[in-house]
Structure 1
Amino acid sequence: MRVPVLFALVAVALLLVAPLYFYSVTLMTILCFVVFACSFNLLLGYSGLLCFGQAMFFGGAAYITGHILKTTPLSLELAILCGAAFSGLLGLAIGFLAIRRQGIQFAMITLAFSQFVYFIFLQSSFTGGEDGMQAIPRNALFGLFDVSDNTAYYYVVLAVTLLCVFVYYRIVHSPYGEVLKAVRDNQPRVESLGFNPERIKLLAFVLSATMAGVAGGMKATVYQFATLTDASWPISAEVILMTLLGGLGTLTGPIFGAGIIILLNDYLAGFGEWALISQGVILLVVIVFFRRGFVGELSAFSSYLRSRRASVADAKSASPARAH
């Protein structure tokens, strides 16, 4: 059995028993933001598109999921899927307008759209405005299974998260993922080969928005409320920090980044503004000293050790030859 597969099985086994030792709501929050960070990493790490408005998909899906659960008897999973579909359609509309630009222009366009969506949510009656959407029910899963208990719902969130991470893994390792990375590295050459870079990036933008919508829908059902904070700029900044801290363009980087930031926020919750200050310090340290992120630095260090071992082995094998 290969080491990555064994590592994945051990990680899943630990996650299955985690609610026995840790607070289930904190664990579910980490899982929601793992999906959210994976969605952003797909966009920036593999597409080269810096989106400053990822929170509009996260918060939009939270509101849509909550509104459906409050006003209809629709089952829980269908409500989350409706929220994800809304985010995907919103991503399609915004991506169609923004994808023609690159770099800081693309980033600022997405920020402008995010602020516009935030203002709509602020003024809309169904969102509750500044008070937020409260008392979101957890309808039965598939219309059959009661998930009102947090421990029971943890396993639902875990299953959805594992599915999303698997889809993320398959996208990155598919032929489309290879073309996506080629567009990121050298767009003119990809265009000369007959591909349409704008269409490829638009699809990535829609996939990223949809995955962010899944995360937002799950988060709304975990806490059973949705607020303007979910669609605000600080959430977009937080997911950027998670991705950079974990490792940009890596598969497991968003997982580690989300876990570190959520646990840090939970620990510093009683210190008020110090939580934000600590995030700024972490971001500064990562940018200056650890630009490859947590996973990136570990990968670079392991590659260095492998190269050193290979050099020592080559030297030993060459010594007998010189002796002869």
Structure 2
Amino acid sequence: MGVPRHHIVIFAGLLVFLVLAPLFLYPVFLMKVLCFALFACAFNLLLGYGGLLSFGHAAYFGGAAYVSAHAAKVWGFTPEISILLGTGSAALLGLVIGALAIRRQGIYFAMVTLAFAQMVYFFALQAPFTGGEDGIQAVPRNMLFGLFDISNDTAFYFFVLFIAFGGLLLIYRIIHSPFGQVLKAIRENEPRARSLGYHVNRYKLAVFVLSATLAGAAGATKALVFQLASLTDVHWSMSGEVVLMALLGGMHTVFGPIMGAAIIVTMQNYFASFGAWVTVLQGTIFVIAVLMFREGIVGVLGKWLKKPM
């Protein structure tokens, strides 16, 4: 199945914008948007295309952040190795939790993932090497591949862009592969997919691990962006935030989670002076979006244009 022309145009336009964005936007803000866009797209792979609602994705995002930060600060590894270790730990964690969680369905599946995420949170709070409530601070950005200095935010931005955009393209390929088509079939009618001979639980576990791995890549990268891994990354509210991003942008769309992540991060960044009212504003926007855009902002846009987004 060929790639739709409008998707190529969107990806190309997005890439051009992101390459030029540091000229007029703060690089750290852009890196945060990229990390959360990858996180939201990874979550949407599980929910929007696998039909599995997880309330525990902060476990992989935050767990990878801690591993990446520890590897860079304590073990002195280079950024690419630190991020790979964080991503690998998220994949392993996703495999263990997913193998147990997929035995349940619906709300029970969601509650199991939340329970495991809370276990990860309390581990991060109590373990001696995680820094407790202080987290892991002052994480160094060592030389990339031992050759390139990325201590400058702008230089590091293009490395983050490479990871995030590469992750987005990988997710796109997964969605539009035969594997992705089977996932959609399971989402729409699991008993029928089972009757056709598909090992449904294997597909569920595979998409769960893929989603956890990509969420881990986002978290591991974010730890080096902010040079910090904290309890916020593994808190249950982070799992809720990524659900909000996916729903706001559009669950069953490729580009919706990117839009949702950009909106939420922009609100948090530019409305920070409102303090706790930011949460109220987020809730208000979410309610309005759900009432006016039932398929999400990008989903409704695609419906208007009569093109899959």
TM tier, shorter chain?
Answer: over 0.9
Match of 1:170 among 158, 169, 173: 173
Alpha-carbon displacement from aligned partner over 1:182-216 (angstroms, at most 9, x marks no partner): 01111111111111111100000000000000000
Structure 2: distance between partners of 1:241 and 1:134: 28
Distance 2:273 2:51 in 1: 36
Q: For residue 319 of structure 1, what is the aligned residue in structure 2?
A: none
SS at match of 2:306: helix
**SS of 1:142 mapped into structure 2:** coil
Amino acid at match of 2:140: P
After TM superposition, the structure 1 stretch with the greater mean CA deviation from structure 2, 32-41 or 287-296, is 287-296
CA distance in 2, matches of 1:21, 1:295: 25
- Distance in 2, matches of 1:228 and 1:180, equals 33
Q: 2:195 aligns to what? A: 192
Q: Give the counterpart of 2:182 among 156, 170, 179.
A: 179
Q: Which amino acid aligns with 1:25?
A: V
Alignment of 1:73-152 (within 5 A): 73-152=76-155
After superposition, where does 1:1-324 map in structure 2 within 5 Å?
A: 2-303=5-306
Superposed displacement of residue 280, structure 1: 1.3
1: CA distance, partners of 2:23 / 2:187: 43
Residue 125 of structure 1 and its aligned partner are, at CA, apart by 1.2
Counting matched residue pairs gives 304
After superposition, what is the alpha-carbon deviation per residue over 1:131-176, rounded to whole angstroms, capped at 9, x for unaligned?
1110101111111111000000000000111100010000000000
In 1, Cα distance between equivalents of 2:56 and 2:11: 31
Amino acid at match of 2:176: H
Q: Tell me the TM-score normalised to structure 1 length.
A: 0.92
Q: Which one has the largest radius of gyration?
A: 1
- Please report how far the alpha carbon of residue 234 of structure 1 lies from its aligned counterpart in structure 2 after TM superposition: 1.1
Q: What stretches of structure 1 move > 3 A for 4+ residues in a row? A: none
CA separation in 1, counterparts of 2:113 and 2:288? 26
User: Which digits, 9 at most, give the CA deviation of each residue in 1:42-99, with x for residues without a partner?
Assistant: 0000011100011010000000000001122322111101101100100110011110
Root-mean-square deviation (CA, aligned residues, Å) is 1.2
Q: Secondary structure at the match of 1:7?
A: helix
Normalising by the residue count of structure 2, what TM-score does the alignment of the two structures yield? 0.96
1:105 alignment partner AA: Y
Q: Distance in 1 between matches of 2:140 and 2:213?
A: 22
In structure 1, distance between residues paired with 2:175 and 2:245: 19
Give unpaired runs (5+ residues) of structure 2: none
Q: Name the amino acid aligned to 2:161.
A: L
CA distance in 2, matches of 1:303, 1:213: 34
CA distance in 2, matches of 1:73, 1:144: 15
Q: What is the percent sequence identity of the aligned residues?
A: 53
Q: Distance in 1 between matches of 2:63 and 2:291?
A: 34
C-alpha separation in 1, matches of 2:6 and 2:235: 40
